[in-house]
Amino acid sequence: MNSRLISQRINSDPSPFVIRLSDGTRVRVAHPDFVAVSPGQVLVMGRNESVTKIDTLHIVAIEEPRRRKAKA
């Protein structure tokens, strides 16, 4: 996926989203402030200050997070 598309998503909507990778891994982005985009890589800051480094060639989709079902 083109890093420009990821940047557009970050700049257009501040809500959380998920980056889906070619191996099926899903990386949650809690807020656009927690992601950095360069032409070939995306860095996602996670809990406990962890950093996930992603090569843009492995990004296959940007998805909305799954909604949790409300408890009855």
Distance CA 68, CA 32 (A): 21
Per the DSSP assignment, residues forming a β-bridge with 42 are 37, 54
| pTM of the model as a whole | 0.83
Determine the average pLDDT of the residues in 46-58.
93
Average pLDDT over the chain, rounded to whole? 90
Q: Kindly list the strands in the beta sheet with 51-55, ordered across the sheet, starting from the edge strand earlier in the chain.
A: 35-37, 41-45, 51-55
pLDDT band at residue 35 under the 50/70/90 scheme? very high
Q: Report the C-alpha dihedral over residues 54, 52, 61, 15, rounded to 10 degrees.
A: -140
Structural domains in the chain, CATH included, are 3-63 (2.30.30.100)
Over its C-alpha atoms, the chain yields an Rg (Å, rounded) of: 12
Who's near 36: CB < 8 A, 6+ residues apart?
A: 42, 43
